[in-house]
Structure formats: structure tokens, C-alpha cells
Amino acid sequence: PSEEYENLRRRIYSNTKEIWYYINHEIGKLIADEVKADSLQAILNQVADRKRSLLSDQEKLPELDGYKEWRETEAANVSELVQRRLKHLQNPPDCRDARKVICNLNKGCGFGCQLHHIVYCLIFAYATERTLILNSKGWRYNSKGWDYVFHPISDSCTTSYDDKVMPWPVSYDAKVVSLPFIDSISQKPKFLPLAIPKDLAHRIVRFNGDPASWWIGQMLKYILKPRTTMQKAINETIANMNFKSPIVGVHIRRTDKVGTEAAFHHIHEYMTHVKDYYDQLELTRPVDTRRVYLASDDANVLEDARKKYPEYEFIGDASIAKTAATHRRYTPLSLAGLLVDLHMLSTCDYIVCTFSSQVGRVAYEIMQTNRVDASQSFFSLDDIYYFGGQNAHDRRALMPHTANAKDEISFQVGDLIGVAGNHWNGFGRGTNKRTNLNGLIPWYKTADHLVLYPFPEYKQVPL
């Protein structure tokens, strides 16, 4: 299928949702004000039925357009190509001679945040053709280091010997450079997320609706390979769970996150979207059990959910959540639990989560490597997808817009709008880069602006 066709198909799909967000929000307000609440709720239910039917039909299009197998093959081929390039980069013929970048795994944050730190380093390595050396002695999850839990990110090159290490940014082409955390990097390189490699972009967009997270997922695929002992432990925990499709993953991030970096969300906010998913699925197939995989760092959530929603089957491990909720969070045991949760969430058919949490975003990024296109297989209650420390995320105006209300902004076709988020009510917030005005924008009149960066093309690696 052509790129234009794929873009159009995705646009119709996403704008169908936008109509719903708008109506739901506006009518919801009237209901809250008790203006003819019963009849408005009845209207809303009718609109919801029609929305689900429209989305369900559209989801069949890529199944039936004759390109299903092509997409699957292409997705596998591009992924394998990226993995081969990374392997090539990480295993230079002469390690002593190779240019390198050093990444210290001493970032004092959770595992999701640390994974993203390594992703940033690996993208830097790929962009500058330097082998990535990961220093992880004294790592908070296992003091013996990363390689004790996961396969090393290189088989043959894991030290910079005694070469001089220069902190980035360097004024000359130093052989070995070390990276700061992405939050404090000066002269932020343009190749950092959400940029994707130009030489692959036109292939990726033809099978995936969110190439930036697909690309980040590819980095995780390379990095995240548990060793046999860890993999066995994960498999044993999983074997005891009744994990069967259809299943929706729910990630509820609470404890230290609430009130500092994210708002508290009640279980029913997540379950509304789970219900919507199953109501839509039932239009095309019978669902015997509505299964939910529930992951959380709040030890009480699982019991609470089972009590409040007896018509659902909740799968999850309360002891994992309990470990995650306590001061034992940064131990090998808690890491094992988190790996189970990440694996399960990313294997679910759909995820409901908060993208303010790195755990939620990592689950989605891994999901993007598990299937051809996971870009419509999640709902985030708060943020749109982002990479911590990323370069500007812009949307491009496809239609002109004249502000209708005082908090809206106007734009012309082609304007770039730096976006802060979608309010899931038909509008998002952004700054028009031409006028410098900040305000609400009707989301459907804009489309994601993909940043293509001329990464090295690794011509030595066979296609």
C-alpha cells in the first residue's frame, strides 16, 4: 500500500475517535450539570455504539486489503535489519581500535527510567557510529552489574581500555566520549527521539502508525535479553497465571508518583476503557471471559479491582505489587517482578495505562516490537506518548483553523505546532511556531510531524 493510503486510513480512524471525544466531553458536562441527564446518557450510549462499530469496521481494512502478509514480512525485515546493524555496531572487528561512547548506569531512578537512559545512549551510539560501553558496576538493581541479569550488549567489546575519556560535547573527534544524562545534555543532538532514521522511515510508516516509538522499541529489543536464570524465573511465574487472549493489560501507577509527577486515577477510570475495548470486540466475536492483567506498585489494587468488578477476571501477582510498593523496590527480586509485569503487559491485546509512567511507556514500546503495529492498542489516561528529554514534538496543520473561543489559537495549513498534550475531549494544547501563540487546538485538523534524521546507513551490513 502507498504511504498516502496508509496515512489516510489511519487518519480516518483517529478522527473517528476525535468525534467521539468531543461529543462525550460536551454531553458529559451537561449530564454532570444534571441537564436532562437520563436522555443525554441515552444519546451518548447510542453514539458510543456507532463509534465502536465504525472503529471495528476500520480495523478490518488492513486485514482485508491484501497487504496483511506484506506488512508482517516487511515489519520483520526492517526489525531484523536494525538488530543486525546494532549487532555490527556493538561488535567491532577490533575493539581496542573502535570509537566508543560510555554510558553509566548510575541514574538514581526506577528501571523504566534506566532503560530509557540506555536507549538514549544506544541511539547516540548508532547515530555517531560508536560502540556503546555500559558501565554498571554497583547498579542499584544488582550491584554485580547489568550483565549479571541480562546478556551483555556486546559479545566482544565491553571496555574502553585505558583510552582517555572525554565528556560530551567534545570540541574534536575524541575516540572515547562519555554521556551525561539526557536531562542535562547541552547542544541536544537532533538525532535524539522522536527522530527516526531517514533511510528506514519510508519503510516503517507503511506498516506502523507510530514510527518513533517503534524505533525506541527496537533499541529495547536489542538491550533487553534476560539471561537463562532470570528468564526461567519469569517463565515460572507466568506459567502459574491463566494468561489467555483476549486480555487487556492495565497498569496502575501509584505510591511515590501520585501528587508529585502524576495525578491519582481511580480504578473506574481505567475500567471504562477496558469495558469499551470488550464492547467493541464483541461486535466481531463472542468473548467468554473479560480478562484483565493488572500490574501496579500499589499492593491493594488487585483485591480492590476483584471486589468492584466481579464480572471481570483479574490476573496478576499481589506479591509483585507488594515488593514494588516498598523500599525493596530496587532489589533483584523487584526487578524480576517488574520484568514479569512488563512482559505480560506488552503481550496483552490492549493496554490501559498512564504514559506519565515510564513503566507504561516501556510496556507500549515493547508491544511495538511484538506486533506489526501497536499504535492503536493502548489508551493513556494522561500524557500522549513521549520520550523523557526528547526534542520538540510537533504536529502539522492539515487544515486552517480560526480560533472560536478565547483559549483557542488559529493556524494556517502547514504551520508547525509544538504540542504539550491531548485533552481527550477533541482538543489538545500547543504553541504555533509561526505566531508563537499558545492555546487549544482541534486535534483532528493536525497530524504528527515525523522528524527524519540522516542517521548512518550501515551499508556494510547486508540488507
**Least distance to ligand GDP from the beta carbon of 288, Å?**
27
Q: What are phi and psi of 238, to 5 degrees?
A: -65, -40
Q: Which of 40, 168, 58 is nearest to 103 (CA)?
A: 168
Backbone dihedral region of 42: left (phi > 0), alpha (psi from -120 to 50 degrees) or beta?
A: alpha
Q: What are phi and psi of 133, to 5 degrees?
A: -110, 120
- Residue position matching grid coordinates 455504539: 49
**Least distance to ligand GDP from the beta carbon of 277, Å?**
19
Q: Does 395 bind ligand GDP (CB under 6 A)?
A: no
**Least distance to ligand GDP from the beta carbon of 111, Å?**
4
3-state helix, strand, coil in the chain (%, to 5): 45, 15, 40
Q: Does 197 bind ligand GDP (CB under 6 A)?
A: no
DSSP 450: P
| Touching ligand GDP, residues 271-330 (CB under 6 A) | 295-297, 320, 324, 329
Bridge partners of residue 295, in order along the sequence:
251
Nearer to ligand GDP, 6 or 341 (CB): 341
CA distance linking residue 163 with residue 177, whole number of Å: 10
Q: Does 181 bind ligand GDP (CB under 6 A)?
A: no
**Least distance to ligand GDP from the beta carbon of 434, Å?**
34
| Touching ligand GDP, residues 101-120 (CB under 6 A) | 109-113
How many amino acids of this chain bind ligand GDP (CB under 6 A)?
A: 21
Of the residues 10, 85, 253, 343, which one makes contact with ligand GDP according to CB under 6 A: 253
**Least distance to ligand GDP from the beta carbon of 334, Å?**
5
Query: Is 249 buried (19+), middle (13-18) or exposed (0-12) by CB count in 10 A?
Result: buried
Q: Does 230 bind ligand GDP (CB under 6 A)?
A: no
Q: Does 377 bind ligand GDP (CB under 6 A)?
A: no
| 3-state DSSP assignment of residue 386 | coil
Contact track, ligand GDP, 335-374, x by CB under 6 A: --xx--x---------------xxx---------------
Q: Is the dihedral of CA 106, 257, 255, 315 positive or negative?
A: negative
Interacting residue ranges for ligand GDP, rule: CB under 6 A: 109-113, 251, 253, 257, 295-297, 320, 324, 329, 334, 337-338, 341, 357-359
